[in-house]
Structure 1
Amino acid sequence: MSRERLDALREELKRQGVQGFLVPRGDEYQNEYVPPSEERLAWLTGFTGSAGLAAMAGDHAALFVDGRYTIQAQQQIGDQPLEQQNLNPAAIAGWLCDNLKAGESLGFDPRLHTEPGLAALKKRLAERDICLQPLDSNPIDNIWSDRPAQPSGHARPHPETFTGEASAQKRLRIADLLDEKRADALWLANPEVCAWLFNIRGSDIPHLPVALSCAMLYRDGTATLYLDEAAASDALREHLGGDVSLVHDKAQLFAAARRQHVARIWVDPQLTNCWTLQQLRAMDLELILDRDPITGAKARKNAEELAGSRAAHERDGAALCEFLAELPEAVDGGIADDSFGELEAVALLRAKREAREGFTDDSFDSISGYGPNGAIVHYRVTPESSLPMKPEGIYLIDSGGQYPDGTTDVTRTVALGDFPEQARDHFTRVLKGHIAIATLRFPAGTCGEQIDAFARKALWDAGLDYAHGTGHGVGSFLSVHEGPQRIGKMHTSVALEPGMILSNEPGFYLTGQYGIRIENLIFVKESEQYPGFMEFEELTLAPIERKLIDKLLLTPMELEWLNDYHQRVRETLTPLVNERTRTWLQQATEKI
């Protein structure tokens, strides 16, 4: 970020007649990961986290981030004239009201925000006679001279061997729900729901294998799909068939709705941007505002998707084990000249994954944190920040892969040598929380917020906690962060249903010293022994660091779980790894 960019933005805001502006980290599809052309927040502020918002108000500017990114934001904005604030609606509204005057206007790009996301802010600003003003063009785009081009990669069919269900069957299944809603059409607001419904994938967004798209599904199971013209091939058209019409201009989507005599349309206001709602209302359509049914349907993985995820996790676990087995020697080899650090570790792990069948990309930027950098919850290593690693202290590696049959996400905390004794207590308490979730049995209808405390109790007993959720949903060769399911303090009212994949990742972070997190992916299944109850089954396969465990803090049940898990890891992965890793794996999974 440069002061010149802030000054240029202020001049552009004056030209557009507003005194403030909101800069979210997102795109028109509300994606978590965005193409380089949509990285407006990073361009303006230097902050590269996956969640955040900047606000301009007169001569003042602020960056709002949550607890995961507090330290990272401090490092990345440095001494720039940006106030750092907590990312919550009350703090954002309060700051804006403090820095804007009655009668002034706060501009926003209606393509980058949703109405529910702005509702509380709009109300608060109105009470202070401050107008929330949609802008026809984004001020940053007008001053970003070297902005990258919008991506337009090929969309490709995703085989039914991985999806477990044909697109035509999915469309008819969702169309039945339209009948129940008495809706003529469903608006598909983002590429993930389109990817699932039409069984297509792409490469327009880093780490998210989708093509930029949106669509309308009609009551008879036919649909109109928007894709960039360059994304549509003959193979894709053949895959979609005659019941799916392709258009290459979003305006043609609205025109198609008129041709289909759509009068009532189902729209998810959490996924659909303000601009799109404006276009639909201008057509005098009746909007049925409710959660998109596809979001829940794709969260409940079928048997083929779960089988694919198991297979992907086996290959991914083998790659991770080969990395962990070679890590100590790589660290030792780099001692003399500091040639092996966090960045080199990421490259080594990436190479191990690339050697595995089907690997297409990392599922997110790996979090490779040695020592104090491990305490930055969502740390993103750069050439400037990369610490050289030594045969001492604690290293945290959170990473994942995208494979056609599954998406992985795993965190392991490693003792590279001597470490502070208190870390053993911290690690074991995190492990106890991890096991508490892994072994939990709960009645059908239970939501993630109702079980979150089980992961935190051992930490709470010692007056400790962590500032992130315990678990997020994960897609099937889709987003590594998938809704609507999650485990955390936040209220969701979303029941955990069979087939849902989630992460189980309690942690603890001691600022300036180390970070600890243990993350496996798990999925929900019905209990065979107790009808009406749900349980979890492990997907991730990788040893948990035995050197950091205080055996005296574990109960007999917890020890049994750990030993059983390690036995399964050893038996499953030994045939898949090289001889060197087999020896390491035998030691890493020895019974405690």
Structure 2
Amino acid sequence: MSQIRLEQLRDQLATQEVQGFLVPRCDEYQNEYVPAADERLAWLTDFTGSAGLAMVTGKAAALFVDGRYTLQAADQIGEQQISQQSLTPADIAAWAIATLGEGDKLGYDPKLHTEPGLKLLRESCAKGGIELVALDSNPIDAIWQDRPATPSGLAVPHPLQYTGEESTSKRQRIGAGLAENRAGALLLPNPEVCAWLFNFRGNDIPHLPVALSMGILYADGSAALYLHKSAADAALRDHLGEGVTLLHDKQALFAHAKERGVKAVQCDPLLSNLWSLQQIEAQGMSVVRAADPVVLTKACKNPVELDGARTAHIRDGVAVCEFLADLPQHIDGNTFGEMQAVHLLRAKREATDGFSDDSFDSISGYGPNGAHCHYRVSEESSLTMEPKGIYLIDSGGQYPDGTTDVTRTLAMGEVPASAKEHFTRVLKGHIALGTLRFPEGTNGEHIDAFARKSLWDAGLDYAHGTGHGVGSFLSVHEGPQRIGKAASGVALREGMILSNEPGFYLTGEYGIRIENLVFVKKSERFEGFLEFEDLTLVPIDLSLVEPSLLTEQETEWLNNYHALVRDTLTPLVSDKTRAWLEHSTRAI
């Protein structure tokens, strides 16, 4: 089937007079999770990972993926005439130059790419005489006969009891800062920014509670907002108030700014698609390229949002503990597998007050599947679980008061001493990062090594980042904060929520990851310093811990953490889970 689609796409490229085309895994809002209507990469190649890019020319096709998805991509593209390549700008450019010739044109959909995202490719191709060309229409859309409709669900006001600040206050606060960049307006490029700024949520995107939207914010705090006509009912219009002009045509946003006399629009080039920049300039306005101030502001949670995160994590902790206590009785080595575990955990969360959706597709990896650090289980790949080996479950929930994300690694039976050593080294890194005290102005990359040192001491490492930002009933992967080897350039600030998730993966054997969500707070001991406080409340599997590898301080942390989990959750769980919880949080 994919070969037929490749040939159909090549016919479309000939019609549009280009010799190649880029197929990114994103939508026009640069969302991590996208509606089914925007899964063009999966439709074309069968690859379903959350990051990737395909390039198709008249004679060849390639799928570019990062280290998280090399195994998955190989499995999914199978025998198709698509080569697998590394997802780096240099490798993408090298393949394009090797495959296309001087005078050729490489087409792209300007709604699906950012300016920085194409910079190196554009420059490299130009040296080889290859021109990048923005197409007026996406050629895949012309051949995808049963393409799903773009969602247009209702946008629902998000109450002040969860947001902690009225939309009017947010808009005026953000708008007042535009003068610093001599801009009369700010492009609000995606649904997550709009959801936070206007205090509404929706259900248009899997796992991300937003309505498809974009907007323009003016310096006085008024705004123009694009939403599909069916997304805005009387309750939403009343919620938005007179200061917000609702529009149902994206192009009308830019005309509205022109009519308001705006001369310059501030845009974050990392978040804004190229089409939007083109529309601004087409109206005779200039583009001021600068970081989106909404992103950093929403990352620093206010006291109401932090209180909501605490309560959401308590309820979610109950659900996860009910799952963990129930899991062993299902493992018979015959019928219960990774997918059944996902369904069981989902059922526990669905019984929890306020549960809206999973915050991402659960990573449920038993044995060798757990060694794929971003494994996505399917009915075909699901392994039957037995009372032996190691199981990794990484999951989260969306609640109106907060977003959760927790990973636990479990011994399903006896495990080798080497697995206990690996697990304990991961735990030591988790504790080292979680107990860290650091000066204000410290970036995530400055502290990443603390989580890796125990593994490095044994010549081991892991290929993913150590921590990502998390939203408030928004994206489970929120910027700009992160903890990892790569430079973020972003200092950690009070109120930010991040994950703490070191890991280790032994190919063909098992995966290990321990993840809690934490938030940044002022140090109670030293002026000018920050520290973390745990939000996640789920026991860490003591049967995988090798106590002799822990220091006295690390053992004390583990016992204190488990006491907190036990004291908080015991009154809230079922009788059966209460006994499990008591045993799982025993002091060592």
- What TM-score comes out, normalization by structure 2 length? 0.99
Match of 2:485 among 471, 489, 496: 489
Which residue is 2:436 aligned to? Answer: 440
Say whether 1:361 aligns with 2:360: no
Number of aligned residue pairs: give it.
588
Q: CA deviation at 1:533?
A: 0.6
Q: Which residue identity does 1:558 align to in structure 2?
A: E
Cα distance in 1 for partners of 2:49, 2:571 equals 38
Cα distance in 1 for partners of 2:552, 2:417 equals 23
Percent identical among aligned pairs is 66
Cα distance in 2 for partners of 1:582, 1:196 equals 38
Say whether 1:422 aligns with 2:418: yes
In structure 2, the residue corresponding to 1:451 is in which secondary structure?
helix
Q: Which residue identity does 1:449 align to in structure 2?
A: E
Which residue is 2:427 aligned to? Answer: 431
* Partners of 2:365 and 2:375 within 8 A in 1: yes
In structure 2, the residue corresponding to 1:63 is in which secondary structure?
strand
Could you list the structure 1 runs, at least 4 aligned residues long, displaced by more than 3 angstroms after superposition.
none
Q: CA deviation at 1:73?
A: 1.1
Cα distance in 2 for partners of 1:52, 1:555 equals 42
1:98-117 equivalent positions in 2, closer than 5 A: 98-117=98-117
Match of 1:582 among 567, 578, 583: 578
In structure 1, the residue corresponding to 2:287 is in which secondary structure?
strand
Say whether 1:81 aligns with 2:81: yes
* Partners of 2:255 and 2:283 within 8 A in 1: no
Which residue is 2:452 aligned to? Answer: 456
Q: CA deviation at 1:5?
A: 1.2
Match of 1:548 among 532, 537, 544: 544
Cα distance in 2 for partners of 1:147, 1:175 equals 39
Q: CA deviation at 1:288?
A: 1.1
Which residue is 2:254 aligned to? Answer: 254
Q: Which residue identity does 2:36 align to in structure 1?
A: P
Q: CA deviation at 1:181?
A: 2.5
Where does the alignment leave 5 or more consecutive residues of structure 1 unmatched?
none
Q: CA deviation at 1:374?
A: 0.5
Q: CA deviation at 1:442?
A: 0.6
In structure 2, the residue corresponding to 1:215 is in which secondary structure?
strand
Which residue is 2:52 aligned to? Answer: 52
Q: CA deviation at 1:60?
A: 1.3
Cα distance in 1 for partners of 2:316, 2:64 equals 35
Which residue is 2:9 aligned to? Answer: 9
Cα distance in 1 for partners of 2:72, 2:509 equals 15
> What CA deviation, in whole Å up to 9, does each residue of 1:184-241 have, x standing for no partner?
1111000001001000000000000000000111111111100000000000000001
Which residue is 2:475 aligned to? Answer: 479
Q: CA deviation at 1:420?
A: 2.8
Q: Which residue identity does 2:275 align to in structure 1?
A: W
Cα distance in 2 for partners of 1:231, 1:365 equals 25
Q: CA deviation at 1:61?
A: 1.1
In structure 2, the residue corresponding to 1:388 is in which secondary structure?
coil
Cα distance in 2 for partners of 1:178, 1:65 equals 37
In structure 1, the residue corresponding to 2:364 is in which secondary structure?
strand
* Partners of 1:185 and 1:219 within 8 A in 2: yes
* Partners of 1:58 and 1:99 within 8 A in 2: no
Say whether 1:373 aligns with 2:390: no
Q: CA deviation at 1:548?
A: 0.7
- What TM-score comes out, normalization by structure 1 length? 0.98
Which residue is 1:517 aligned to? Answer: 513
In structure 2, the residue corresponding to 1:540 is in which secondary structure?
coil
Which residue is 1:139 aligned to? Answer: 139
Cα distance in 2 for partners of 1:279, 1:248 equals 16
Q: Which residue identity does 2:190 align to in structure 1?
A: N
Q: CA deviation at 1:135?
A: 0.7
Q: CA deviation at 1:464?
A: 1.0
Q: CA deviation at 1:175?
A: 1.2
Where does the alignment leave 5 or more consecutive residues of structure 2 unmatched?
none
> What CA deviation, in whole Å up to 9, does each residue of 1:465-484 have, x standing for no partner?
11110000000000000000
Cα distance in 2 for partners of 1:526, 1:406 equals 21
1:182-201 equivalent positions in 2, closer than 5 A: 182-201=182-201
Cα distance in 1 for partners of 2:171, 2:284 equals 26
Match of 1:502 among 495, 498, 501: 498
> What CA deviation, in whole Å up to 9, does each residue of 1:97-147 have, x standing for no partner?
111111111111100000111011100100111111111111111110100
Cα distance in 2 for partners of 1:18, 1:331 equals 55
* Partners of 1:156 and 1:201 within 8 A in 2: yes
* Partners of 1:6 and 1:44 within 8 A in 2: yes
In structure 2, the residue corresponding to 1:395 is in which secondary structure?
strand
> What CA deviation, in whole Å up to 9, does each residue of 1:15-71 have, x standing for no partner?
211111111100000000000000001111111111111111331111111111111
Q: Which residue identity does 2:62 align to in structure 1?
A: A
